[in-house]
Structure 1
Amino acid sequence: MWTNRFWQAEFWTLAFIIFVVGLIGSLFDRAAASIAVIIFGYLLWNLIQLSRLYKWLVKSKSLYPPSAPGLWGDIFNHLYVLQRKNRKELKKLKGIISEFRASTSALKEGALIISNQGEIRWFNKASEKLLGLKASTDIGQRLFNLLRHPSFIEYEQVRDYEKPLTIPSPADEKLMLNIHITPYNNDQRLVMIRDVTEKHHLERVRQDFVANVSHELRTPLTVIHGYLEMLDPEVYPELSKVEKPLQMMRQQALNMGHLVDDLLLLSRLDAKDPAHNGNKKDIDINIMLDSICAEARVLSGEKNQTILFHSYSNKTFCGSEKQLRSAFSNLVFNAVRYTQKGGKIDIYWKETDENLVMSVCDNGPGIEEEHIPRLTERFYRVDTGRNRSQGGTGLGLAIVKHVLEMHGGYLNIQSTVGKGSEFSCYLPKS
């Protein structure tokens, strides 16, 4: 309202001056020239005010604007008010940024802000120690040029940030770093880096302990099992009275042997043992599953179960044949063990737009929903008594999960009590 009043005053003042000067000029037949002189003078005056405005905004360090009458005085005043408001907001933002930098500097975790192209825009002090960065030289550099670990380059190319990545530090190979990237806005990403050296060391100690204990147990178990096989009541009739205890001992020794074998397998998978993993190659999954189904029918025996294999894809998969066979047979044999007599088991090999899928469906007793998230935990049992009677070690699904993750896939479990279960292995096409 205030500005409109000044505009109106400016307009009517100029119109009045032009009218009076034009009227006087017309008495001397110079009306047009007189009006032109007035308009030129008005333009010159406005150019002078624009020049004063430019000098104040760009060159002058003064907080206060130059004085001017009329409309220009109003413009100067409004700009001054806006500048004061902006200075307050800027001071407030600087305070917030200072607090943010102070808080992030106190963090033990490294924090970086990078652009969508990977250019480093900011990082805290912990990043300097963990990654060996220097503010004077590395701001503006691409993080992926400074951190050249192959796993990190692949992590960036895939851009699947749901799971963090663990790699050794480029500044100190003894340090193990956990890296998690979170995109925000449209062109920025927050990189959080944690030192997980101690956790990594404890995990390695645990793996070594399990592997060493399993190796140590294998020899005495082999000896015990061998001697138990020798104690045959048909050969030694005097042992007929203890035939049942001997049979139970043989069975428990056999179960213990299976447990040791599974523990050793998991240890090799944890350690990514090249000798166990073997070379990856294209595998005809149809042939593999057909063979596993034949073995499952033999295992089913007197349970008289219907076991069918349905193939809806001829796609091969590049991976470790030994590992995948172990994972798929675990699922199929579990279905055979836990499905009742006369039950039905269907094995599928199919594909979606993004994945190759191997599924095992049964009409067994099913699993309660609260147990499903924990089924892949090591030694987790839904029904301790039932699992032991079936000879399970509690490690089968943990092995399946581990194998699938090593091949870039995942396990999906669906089950309804009284209707059955479906275990699906999703493997990436690429």
Structure 2
Amino acid sequence: MRSLKLKWQLFPSHIIILICAMLAVVWYGTHSLKTFYVTQMAAFLEAQADLILPGVTELTVARKLSELDKFCRETGGKISTRITVVDWKGKVICDSGRDPQTMQNHANRPEIKQSFAGITGISQRYSTTTREEMLYVAIPIQAGKEIKGVLRVSKPLTAIDKELKNLFSRVVAGIIVIIVFASGITLLLAKKISQPLEQMKDESLRFANGDFSRRILVSGSDEIVGLAQAMNKMAEQLDERMRAVLGKSKELETVLSSMLEGVIAVDLHEKILYMNDSAIKQLDISQAAMQGKRLLEVVRNVELLHFIKYTLSLDEPTEKTIVFNLGKKDERLLQIHGAQLAGAQKNKIGALVVINDVTRLLRLENLRRDFVANVSHELRTPITSIKGYVETLLDEGEEHSQHVQDFLEIISKQTNRLHAIVEDLLALAKIEQESDRKTVVLERGNIKEVLQGAIEACSVNAAEKGINIRLDCPDTMYAKINGPMLEQAIINLLDNAMKYSKTESTVQIDAECTEKNVIINVKDKGIGIAPGHLDRLFERFYIVDKGRSRESGGTGLGLAIVKHIAHAHGGKVVVQSEPGKGSTFSILLPQFKSFENEKT
């Protein structure tokens, strides 16, 4: 739709406002005059009613209806007023303009009701009898304090309406003359205002095209000149800021282009806003192919597309590792991080995805795991043989000197520790492999049964140390678990709690359900852990007190196994501890509200 120039917008708007103002004045004046005339006529009718009331009262009380009818017709004709008399029941007993027998009961007429209440009634309405707009004034007919009827006088408002119409016609003619005169003046003023604005528009188009060299020079009102000066100042500031933005944009483009990580920005409709060179290379697409297109049109990896949809639906960062196939022999592992892309008003405008190619790192990690598993497996047999021979020699202790016996006991102790480390390494390697291959079988299981099994497995060690293990868990608490793996995690936590608890103390196990998790807590009142150790507590071979751990036969792998078992269940393990007050280890498992179609 083509827009109008300012003068053609100002001109009709001013004329319309003027017309509306004039019409409002005319309407208000006409309405006020009519109200004034009606008020004056009502007072005149009331005065007439007061003059004829004594005669009407006398004839009405005496029930001289024929004389009353004659009186009303004669008097009404003389004063050019319709006179109606109504008895106390609302029946019309006399009317100067019509036969009372043909008229309806008037008890419900507004003015009649007011008169029955003892006051003067006034009403304005259309009369079905005279077929005109009428003004009615009614006063009560009283004999003493008793109301015997109502005297009503009325006149048509036709004369007032006619006079007002004539007045309205004259006023409208005057308004037309004023509007014609005002139109010329308004058009000249609108043109005077629009000319400098037209000039500023032309210069602002130059600004929009990036030409900030020229300045606006106009004359006119203070507001127009002030606007021109403000636009000139804006042009100077825009020129400076554009230079700064372009400089920063080039710097940012240089940084993003130099990054090894791929960076992708999409809007809420998954249309590509930006993609750096690393992302283009990692996803094997061309620069030209992505311009102005949705990510779905240039990337065919379902996992990546689903991840971006998921990121757009969240308000917090997320991450995932996906497999990206470029060909039969070229498979890449990409670690992707997604976060909300916020605008200047902190509103979500899209998503930002950072891609790391971790193919080499994961391959090295797999090699490390395989190496540890293979070495541990190969060490298992010779360590078992050494352990057996040492135990045999210890059983023949009488044949050895005390010096040899002491050496054999040291060898036995270290062999047992080495055997425990190898067993833990094999267990950890198995858990990692099953988690990576997603072969960990999770089934609906009773939490209390798993906890009782772990307590039973630790009962001998607990009895030797005089430690009491208490269990607080509902009988009907269920979760999606791998029973043996979860039991092993609880055993490791119980062993850890007993190692660092005093004799004759208590270890508490409890389980609870929240909206999102099933939480298993193992609490002890032992020596506690300093805050500086908590972040690394679940690393392999990390030991807080190495001397105490060696004495108790610890391998440094127990808590790492707990962490990987929790991750295999889709959960996590956390710890809260304070030196001297004990520790609480908590395994958080996902809350599954429905177990339909699951193997039990």
Aligned match of 2:320: 165
Say which is worse superposed, 144-153 or 319-328, in terms of deviation.
144-153
In structure 2, give the amino acid aligned to 1:166. T
Tell me which amino acid in the other structure corresponds to 1:411: V
Give the match's secondary structure for 1:198. Answer: helix
How far the C-alpha of 1:419 sits from its partner, in A, is 2.5
Q: Is the 8 A contact 1:118 1:142 kept in 2?
A: yes
Note the residue ranges of structure 1 that are not aligned, 5 or more in a row: 1-29
Amino acid at match of 2:220: G
* In 1, Cα distance between equivalents of 2:436 and 2:249: 49
Question: Secondary structure of 1:272's match?
Answer: helix
SS in 1 for 2:554: coil
Residue in 1 that maps onto 2:441:
279
Q: Determine the C-alpha separation between the residues in 1 that align with 2:480 and 2:577.
A: 29
CA distance in 1, matches of 2:467, 2:305: 48
Label 1:398 to 1:43 Cα distance change in 2 as closer, same or farther (>3 A): same
Equivalent positions of 1:29-68 (< 5 A) are 33-43=180-190, 46=193
Q: CA deviation at 1:355?
A: 2.1
SS at match of 2:395: coil
Task: Check if 1:112 corresponds to 2:252.
Answer: no
- Is the CA contact (8 Å cut-off) linking 1:152 and 1:165 kept in structure 2? no
SS of the residue corresponding to residue 264 of structure 1 reads helix
Q: 1:160 to 1:49 in 2, by over 3 A?
A: closer
The structure 1 residue matched to 2:496, chosen from 307, 310, 334, is: 334
Q: Which stretch shows the higher mean deviation, 273-282 or 336-345?
A: 273-282
Name the TM-score, length of structure 2 as normaliser.
0.58
Identity of paired residues, percent? 29
| Per-residue deviation, 1:403 | 1.8
Aligned to 1:114, what secondary structure does the other structure show? strand
Q: Which SS does the other structure have where 2:281 is aligned?
A: helix
Deviations 1:143-192 (A, max 9, x none): 69836354884686375966743334444744433322333423243322
Cα distance change on mapping 1:275 and 1:206 into 2, 3 Å: closer
Whole-Å Cα distance in 1 between the matches of residues 438 and 487 of structure 2? Answer: 13
CA distance in 1, matches of 2:338, 2:584: 33
Could you tell me which amino acid in structure 2 is paired with residue 146 of structure 1? V
Contact 1:303 1:342 in 2 (8 A): yes
Change beyond 3 A, Cα 1:200–1:152: farther
Is the radius of gyration larger for structure 1 or structure 2?
A: 2
Residue type of the alignment partner of 1:302: E
**Matched position secondary structure for 1:340:** coil
Residue in structure 2 matched with residue 86 of structure 1 by the alignment: 238
Task: State the secondary structure of the residue aligned to 1:339.
Answer: coil
Q: Looking at both structures, which has the greater relative contact order when contacts are Cα pairs under 8 Å and sequence separation is at least 6?
A: 1
The answer to whether the Cα contact below 8 Å between 2:523 and 2:582 also exists between their aligned partners in 1 is yes
TM-score (normalizing by structure 1): 0.79
Deviation per residue, 1:273-298 (Å, 9 max, x gap)? 67895322112111100111122222
Partner of 2:153: none
Residue 374 to residue 339, structure 1, CA distance change in 2 (3 Å): same
Deviates more, 1:115-124 or 1:40-49: 40-49
Residue number in structure 2 paired with 1:265? 427
Residue 238, structure 1, aligned to residue 399, structure 2: yes
Amino acid at match of 2:267: S
Match of 2:476 in 1: 314
Question: Is 2:521 the partner of 1:369?
Answer: no
> Which range is displaced more, 341-350 or 143-152?
143-152
Deviates more, 1:94-103 or 1:377-386: 94-103
Distance 1:68 1:333, change over 3 A: closer
In structure 2, the partner of 1:408 is: 570
**Deviation per CA, 1:10-68, whole angstroms, max 9, x where unpaired?**
xxxxxxxxxxxxxxxxxxxx887544433334345556666666566569978758876
Check 1:53–1:390 CA distance in 2 against 1; reply closer, same or farther (3 A cut). Answer: same
CA distance in 2, matches of 1:396, 1:90: 60
Single out whichever of 321-330 and 271-280 deviates more from structure 2. 271-280
Letter in 2 for 1:216: E
Q: CA separation of 1:275/1:79 partners in 2, compared to 1, >3 Å: closer, same or farther?
A: closer
Give the match's secondary structure for 1:70: coil
Distance in 2 separating the partners of 1:155 and 1:411: 28
Q: How many Å separate the matches in 1 of 2:540 and 2:200? A: 75
Q: Does 1:103 align with 2:250?
A: no
Counterpart of 1:419, as a letter, is K
Distance in 2 (CA, whole Å) between partners of 1:80 and 1:275 is: 67
Look up the SS of the partner of 2:586 in the other structure.
Answer: strand
1:323 matched residue in structure 2? 485
Alpha-carbon distance in 1 for matches of 2:326, 2:388: 53
Bigger mean CA offset, 152-161 vs 222-231: 152-161
**Which residue does 1:191 correspond to in 2?**
353
Counterpart CA distance in 2 for 1:68 and 1:276 is 76
Question: What is the CA–CA distance in structure 2 between the aligned matches of 1:113 and 1:274, rounded to whole Å?
Answer: 30
Change (3 A) 1:406 1:42: same
Structure 2 match to 1:124:
276
User: Which residue among 146, 162, 177 is the counterpart of 2:299?
Assistant: 146
1:392: how far off?
1.2
Aligned with residue 508 of structure 2, among 346, 349, 355 = 346
CA distance, structure 2, for counterparts of residue 276 and residue 192 of structure 1: 25
Whole-angstrom CA distance in 2 between matches of 1:343 and 1:144: 65
For residues 215 and 408 of structure 2, the distance between their equivalents in structure 1, rounded to whole angstroms, comes to 104
Letter of the aligned partner of 2:340 in structure 1?
P
Tell me, in whole angstroms, the C-alpha distance in 2 between the residues paired with 1:203 and 1:124.
28
Q: Using a 3 Å threshold, how does the CA distance of structure 1 residues 407 and 50 change in structure 2: closer, same or farther?
A: same
Change (3 A) 1:353 1:313: farther
Residue 323 to residue 98, structure 1, CA distance change in 2 (3 Å): same
Which amino acid is 2:320 matched to? L
Structure 1 residue 342, shift from structure 2 partner: 0.7
Distance (Å, rounded) in 1 between the aligned partners of 2:450 and 2:282: 46
Measure the CA separation in 1 of the matches of 2:463 and 2:263. Answer: 59
5+ residue gaps in structure 2?
1-176, 593-600
**Residue number in structure 1 paired with 2:466:** 304
